[in-house]
Amino acid sequence: MLNPKISAYLGFAIKAGKLTMGFNAVETLKKQVYLLIVCDSASENSKKQASKLQKKFSCPLLLCSGDLLENVVKKPLCKFVAVRDKNFAEAILNVTEEGFGIYAGGNN
DSSP code string of 52-101: HHHHHHT--EEEE-SS-HHHHHT-TT--EEEE--HHHHHHHHHH--TTEE
**Distance in angstroms (rounded) separating the CA atoms of residues 38 and 103:** 9
The domain segmentation of the chain, as residue ranges, is 4-102
pLDDT tens digits, one per residue of 50-95:
999 999 998 899 888 777 888 888 888 889 999 999 999 988 888 8
Query: From 3.40.640.10, 3.30.2130.30, 3.30.1330.30, 3.40.50.300, which CATH number describes the 4-102 domain?
Result: 3.30.1330.30
Measure CA 12 to chain center: 14
Long-range pairs of 92-96 with CB within 8 A, sequence gap ≥ 24: 92/6, 92/9, 92/10, 92/35, 92/62, 93/35, 93/60, 93/62, 95/3, 95/5, 95/6, 95/9, 96/3, 96/6, 96/62
pLDDT tens digits, one per residue of 17-55:
999 999 999 999 988 899 999 988 888 998 899 999 999
Model confidence at 7, pLDDT cuts 50, 70, 90, reads confident
